[in-house]
Amino acid sequence: FRIVPNHNCPPGPLPRCTMSVTVEPQQIDLTYITECIITILCPAGCPEHVYLQNLQDIIVMLQSKHGHNYMIINLSQRNDTLSRLNHKVLDTGWVDLLAPNLNQIFTVCSLMENWLQRHSKHVLVLHCRGNKGRLGVLLASYIQFSNMAASADFSLDHFAMRRFYTHIILALLCYMCMCVCVCVLVTDS
C-alpha cells in the first residue's frame, strides 16, 4: 500500500482531511521461516510482468546474500522462467488446489533434509504461485519429518505463528506510516 496525502484539505480540524490509499500491483511475498528456509509466495492475481520483475530482484538478492548455496523448490506447476533464472530449481509439478500425495511430500522432505545437511550455509527457497496451502503443508511436513518439532500440532503452530507475526508487523508499519502522514499534515496546516 502507498499512502497519499490529500493536499486539497481545507484548513480546520483533522476530521475534514482525508487520506487516499492506493493499492499498488501485488508483489511476491518473501518470508524467512528459519535461517535456512525461505518462502516465496506469488498471489494468484499478480500480473505476469510484476511477477517476473519481483522474481528477478529476489534472485539477485539470493545470489548476493547466499551465493550458490541456495536451491529453489517450485511447489507450483513447471515454471520455465524460474528454471531460466536459476539452475538449481526442483520442479515438483504440483497442481494448484490439489493436495500432493504422501509419497511426493516425503520425497521433497527427503531432498530438503539432504540439501540442508550437506553444508551449513545451504538455504532452501520454497516457491509457490497462487495458493499458499502447499507451502503450509510442506513446511509442516518438513518440520515434522526433520524432528524439529515434538508433535504435528507444533509444526502447524510454528508456521501459523510466523505468518501471524509477519502480518502483525506489516499492519503496525502501515499504521505508523499513516500516523506520520497525519502528523505531517497537521504540522503543515
Picking from 51, 54, 62, the residue whose alpha carbon sits closest to that of residue 130 is 51
- For residue 125, the one-letter residue type is V
| Structural domains of the chain ordered from first start | 29-188 (3.90.190.10)
Residue 132: predicted pLDDT = 80
Task: Express as a percent the part of the chain with pLDDT over 90.
Answer: 19
Reported confidence tier of residue 12, pLDDT bands at 50, 70, 90: very low
Q: Are 86 and 59 in contact (CB under 8 A)?
A: yes
| Pair type for strands 37-42 and 29-32 | antiparallel
Residue 187: predicted pLDDT = 65
Q: Which residues contact 33 (CB under 8 A, 6 or more apart)?
A: 39, 139, 159, 162
Reported confidence tier of residue 64, pLDDT bands at 50, 70, 90: very high
Instruction: For residue range 109-156, list pLDDT tens digits in order.
Output: 999 999 999 999 999 999 988 878 888 889 988 988 887 545 555 556
Catalytic residues: 128
Helix axes 133-145, 152-188, angle to 10 degrees: 130
Instruction: For residue range 32-49, list pLDDT tens digits in order.
Output: 888 899 999 888 888 888
pLDDT of 70 > 80? The answer is yes
The structure's pTM equals 0.65
Residue 124: predicted pLDDT = 94
